[in-house]
Structure 1
């Protein structure tokens, strides 16, 4: 009876953790498995053998033919959490295995096990060739990643006070990239306090990050953390791609999806996370097909998974340092901050824009310590039930204000202009006007920040009078526009306008061929989305340009021939 009760309790726990259990862990029929055999290869494992391990590149998707596999999740502190046992007719993988990224869980054979292994490229081929079966598998892969994130039991452990600015930086990075993680406060957890005492020499070392393999990182950069977690999938450095897309906001993701789905080999770079600025939007309500709205993270996540399904290689986070347009080797060359060079026949600039840093006294002192450039659930928790100031009058500012109003006592919006009509969509203006805890101050600007270790006060003034005022505020949100991220283009011949945005559709020489609308002054280099001069600066417009540029890519590649390295 005790064994039966244990089994029942475990099944109940699984049902609670995976409320869409049948979709998350479907069982394939014998006929469906037979259809999959041409995409896989048989693999056998003995009792206790590892099929995949956390932090190591996953070999692909396993279909269990006989036996049972125990799937568990672990963190760097040695905690192991059972996830599920899978038997005949079930398959083992999550969305990361589309690109061979590091596994997020461990899988060990429970007795002798016979499987069918589908490597990432063959798994992608199955999803495309077997549409109905591929839909079920794709849904399951996505739901499994979501469940692992929501479970909060495995992945890296971030250790440090929640008030440490770099804690929010790393939490945002992991959340934006769909990586399971959790954090511990050393003031409340003895094990965390012991680790801080052992590894941390100063506050600058916090947060500590304990990776699942036991490696401890002191306040790491995003790239260092990604490398330690195996987030950057393997790619062939000497491969010649049809197109390299720099930036994975809505425009870059759209380019990746449409180009890869049409058979082009695609590599996508981004220095931080997929989704760009749109990925930080709490709710997008004016994008076609989503009448109830969708978060920027959800929209970007769907596109990210879709791009991987069609074979686009996502190199995130990898920063591009420079672009060589000389084509000395017969192709464009992209140098990365990692010291590697990638070659492509064509380039799509989709690097968007960087959040603008206004001229405010002591701004750099309080960044990450009360000054924020986006409003996610992480920042919302930090300022719950407080009063906050939000600077900006565009759509991003409006979306952030509405989102924060559900978590804080009051949002004070400061707008440099005399109204919102010229810069914000009407539906957002109406939402703001109807929200009782959002106050508007027009013709105003923040001029200084004060505080000891963290932000404590904001100084502001009216643009119509010289008087200064002070507000006791611990959290300031800045949404004051953005500057184009085009520094990596210096020296390659791509022309920009006076604001630094990339010019397109302009011939570089008199009498030259007709230039496609989205092509820059360098043939074979295209620009889409916010980084392009004259673009609409809306999510829908960026996605449209990302789709539109693929036709121009096909035209260029057909005319340019096939360069080889």
Structure 2
């Protein structure tokens, strides 16, 4: 890319435009914005101390994205921080931050650390020279970097635009969730309210959450709608419909999230929308199989609740479970797969060459083959007090919808595997104090090394090995307030806690297959050689991922002896489609 020097207008120029009409147009400073008003657009803020580089960055960004975003510039980190504060004061959205690493006075990483406190939702990109690659990689964890770009890039259509477009698309999907016409009013410490919020967030339904105790708007809306506060949660739909105390299924049906099967018969029915199921949907549809996927909660499964997956190949900056789920869902639908969500499989039977899956509500799906990728669920704590406080301070899984509400609070994470470690790192960015209770003597047996190192570097995270929660106590409103914790030496303490997130063990979702396919003593499904030893009915050997029912395959965490990792689940989902092809051809 040829860097082009232009006149140095700098931050003063961009701020002058910022203070003018809210519908300003940065693409051409000479344009009269008052005469050509436009809706206010989110901002992309670029900072570099070299005028030529900054001008080139702004020019390329303006050419590729100026139609929908305002491109603002600053020549130093401190100036850019002032600009961000001004944008926040005005209530403007900031979608993307692009900063050069080598700047005098304040390096790009230092600026991005401080900028994250001002605009935490903005995507962050570091500009580096080839010699700074190591520094950029080291900064990934420090600033939660989304990408680093080597400069110069040539051509921008190949080296710059795809990267920025992907980041902006991810940002837009998150921003849309905060700006939807659907409004949900409820109590933060209410299981019913939490279930609705979690459902909307995990299914990426644009909605606004209003806490009746903190938001005056929530109380005003209740008065206007004539709704008693005792009837919460309440969902206010865009068409004016008011739903009092709706169940997740009722809300899903009103929003059209569930969907109905479009065909009477399919080549492949996939049960479970986690990484294995989504991978199978992508590969099945791409190979021409008429494919439908059924997911009981939300695409992504348990992995979709992960705050950040950092060891998945091809994503050096890591990605959240929800982002992985969104990408997989979009890809599967684009290739022609059908997705039925908030519906669960309750029975399976074989009828000749057909395989019939019965869903909640009585709907049936007929197929030539079935892939079971229903995954696992976190085990429930059986200690006193936990059951009654679930959803009211105690949560199973990461429950990202609760993260911001935990600002400056004490959060307890129970568990010692990767999912618990990812949650600890994530909540450390919001909570004042994070305590991990790990029953084992150390983290090394169950947690990846990179997570152990990250946790050790976080000053507000305390890891207590050999410790466990033995009871939970609530206050008069039924909210979690204290945990009784037993230390490795047997002593017990009663500690104030604001929220607790549980990640202990996993139970397979296979009760609906009882008496149909063979399972091991823990409920995991037997396949391949294990299925052959458990009562395989045909003369041929079962395929590697085939269960004891011919034409019914299994993939992912629900399979006996599987490796509980996202990458292996994706691999098994794609491999299952290849085996299903062989089954359909050879019988």
Distance in 1 (CA, whole Å) between partners of 2:368 and 2:63 is 44
Q: Which residue of 1 aligns with 2:486?
A: 461
Q: Which residue of 2 aligns with 1:406?
A: 429
Match of 1:10 among 24, 38, 45: 38
CA contact (8 A) 2:170 2:323 kept: no
Distance in 2 (CA, whole Å) between partners of 1:485 and 1:557 is 26
Change (3 A) 1:185 1:428: closer
Distance in 2 (CA, whole Å) between partners of 1:233 and 1:181 is 19
Q: 2:189 aligned with 1:166, yes or no?
A: no
> How far apart are residue 536 of structure 1 and its match?
0.4
> How far apart are residue 216 of structure 1 and its match?
1.4
When structure 1 is superposed on structure 2, of 287-296 and 160-169 the one drifting more is 160-169
Superposition pairs of residues 143-162 of structure 1, within 5 angstroms: 147=172, 149-151=174-176, 152-162=178-188
Q: Which residue of 2 aligns with 1:488?
A: 512
Q: 2:471 aligned with 1:448, yes or no?
A: yes
Q: Which residue of 1 aligns with 2:373?
A: 350
Distance in 2 (CA, whole Å) between partners of 1:275 and 1:339 is 24
Distance in 2 (CA, whole Å) between partners of 1:472 and 1:529 is 38
Tell me the SS of whatever aligns to 2:41: helix
Distance in 1 (CA, whole Å) between partners of 2:340 and 2:498 is 36
Tell me the SS of whatever aligns to 2:204: coil
Tell me the SS of whatever aligns to 1:557: helix
Match of 1:379 among 399, 402, 405: 402
Q: Which residue of 2 aligns with 1:338?
A: 361
Tell me the SS of whatever aligns to 1:14: coil
Q: Which residue of 1 aligns with 2:154?
A: none
CA contact (8 A) 1:26 1:140 kept: no
Tell me the SS of whatever aligns to 1:531: coil
Q: Which residue of 1 aligns with 2:252?
A: 226
- Number of residue equivalences: 444
Distance in 1 (CA, whole Å) between partners of 2:62 and 2:227 is 42
Change (3 A) 1:420 1:185: closer
Change (3 A) 1:21 1:494: farther
> How far apart are residue 322 of structure 1 and its match?
1.4
> How far apart are residue 219 of structure 1 and its match?
2.9
State the TM-score, normalized to the length of structure 2. 0.70
Q: Which residue of 1 aligns with 2:540?
A: 513
> How far apart are residue 440 of structure 1 and its match?
1.4
Q: Which residue of 2 aligns with 1:531?
A: 558
Distance in 2 (CA, whole Å) between partners of 1:379 and 1:147 is 21
> How far apart are residue 383 of structure 1 and its match?
1.4
Describe the superposition over 1:422-455 as per-residue Cα deviations: whole angstroms up to 9, x where unpaired: 1111111111112111111111111111112200
CA contact (8 A) 1:25 1:140 kept: no
Distance in 2 (CA, whole Å) between partners of 1:267 and 1:213 is 30
State the TM-score, normalized to the length of structure 1. 0.73
Q: Which residue of 2 aligns with 1:84?
A: none
Distance in 1 (CA, whole Å) between partners of 2:394 and 2:421 is 17
Describe the superposition over 1:174-200 as per-residue Cα deviations: whole angstroms up to 9, x where unpaired: 121121111223456566325435564
Distance in 1 (CA, whole Å) between partners of 2:450 and 2:367 is 42
CA RMSD of aligned residues (A): 2.9
Distance in 1 (CA, whole Å) between partners of 2:447 and 2:295 is 28
Structure number with the bigger relative contact order (C-alpha 8 A, sep ≥ 6) is: 1
Q: Which residue of 1 aligns with 2:283?
A: 258
> How far apart are residue 234 of structure 1 and its match?
4.3
CA contact (8 A) 1:18 1:24 kept: no
> How far apart are residue 475 of structure 1 and its match?
0.8
> How far apart are residue 540 of structure 1 and its match?
0.6
Structure 1 residue runs without a partner (length 5+): 28-131, 561-565
Distance in 2 (CA, whole Å) between partners of 1:147 and 1:8 is 25
Q: Kindly report structure 1 stretches of 4+ aligned residues shifted beyond 4 Å.
A: 2-7, 15-27, 139-146, 187-191, 197-202
Match of 2:579 among 539, 547, 552: 552
Structure 2 residue runs without a partner (length 5+): 1-20, 24-31, 47-60, 69-156
> How far apart are residue 254 of structure 1 and its match?
0.5
CA contact (8 A) 1:248 1:350 kept: yes
> How far apart are residue 17 of structure 1 and its match?
9.9
> How far apart are residue 338 of structure 1 and its match?
2.6
> How far apart are residue 6 of structure 1 and its match?
6.2
Q: Which residue of 1 aligns with 2:341?
A: 316
